[in-house]
A and B are shown apart, each in its own frame.
Chain A
Amino acid sequence: MSSAHQEPDYMKIFFALTVLTAVEVGIIYLPIGKLAIAIALILLALGKAALVALYFMHLRFEKVGVGIIALTPLFLCTLLIFSLLPDLLGMAHKKQHDQAEKPASSVEQGFNH
């Protein structure tokens, strides 16, 4: 039975999740780059998700097979993101290119006149 393992301190996990949520909300107002904020937010979210899975869902105390089942969607979603990368980067590049094109053409006009 699962009660064979020692029960984790659920209050500690609860406080950790609450504090991490407050940090997440605070971090978006920091005067740092958008990319740095996004990376920090993703890492914090993955940390929180791991706490819920490992302790509230008792994954830490399960056999390895259950861990493999739980990690499968994470692995497949990572593959999904990689397969979308050409789209994601291509569209982001196009967006940057479109935005950069207008000022560039006006500079060109400036030189001509």
Chain B
Amino acid sequence: MSQVSTVETAIDPVESPLTPDSSGKLGMWIFLAGDAMSFGGLLAGYGALRAGSPDWPVPQEVLGISLTAFMTFLLIVSSLTMVKGLSAIQNGDIKGMIRFLSLTVLGGVIFLGLQAYEWTHLMHREILFTSNPFGDYLFGSTFYIITGFHGAHVTGGVIYLAVLAIRGLQGKLDANNSSIVEIAGLYWHFVDLVWILVFTFVYLI
């Protein structure tokens, strides 16, 4: 048993030349930089299609923004509970970490529920992937692709954080390997950051 814990300490965290913490954190940053390019490409494509369209609807009139403004607020709250969870485990408070991670997961699940409600509502109004009674059909295509891609990220984050909360319950996380929670937090805040941009470009402008 003591052998195992010695090996674990030796492996995690390993200093990387770029971050003072584990190389896992560096790996996450590189992944997020690539992922940001995916979203950047989608948003740039959205801009190009919208600029060339003669009958692009006014997004706020078709989509409504009160629900999505609340969804934005929800993700900001979940980012707050995420950093509180990290602070808790860094101070050795495992129960606090589990509580805050669970709240973050709850925030993500409510976000997904609201997105499902929004999609269903829009589909009832005949705004579909290939048709749109309010103007250019590409409005629907780009909307579902961008918000769907983001929703997939939220789903991934909810699973990721739920797994960490379970590992916390099993006693596998403590102050010594808190970088695992910090790396998950980077992913979750990135999902929040991307939504800030999606909310602005797809709903408000």
Contact = CB atoms under 8 A, between A and B. Distances in A.
A10 B18 contact: no
Given A2-B182, A65-B17, A66-B26, A53 B48 contact: no
A56 B54 contact: no
B29 interface: yes
A57 B48 contact: no
Per DSSP, chain B at the interface is helix
A70 B33 CA distance: 6
**Interface size of A as a range:** 35 or more
B75 to A, nearest CB: 10
B84 interface: yes
B47 A84 contact: yes
A69 B192 CA distance: 19
Interface in A21-45: 21, 24-25, 28, 37-38, 41-42, 44-45
Contact of A76 (B13, B26, B37, B179): B37
Contacts of B179: 1-2
A83 to B, nearest CB: 9
A84 B76 contact: no
Interface in B164-205: 178-179, 182, 185-186, 189-190, 192-193, 196-197, 199-201, 204-205
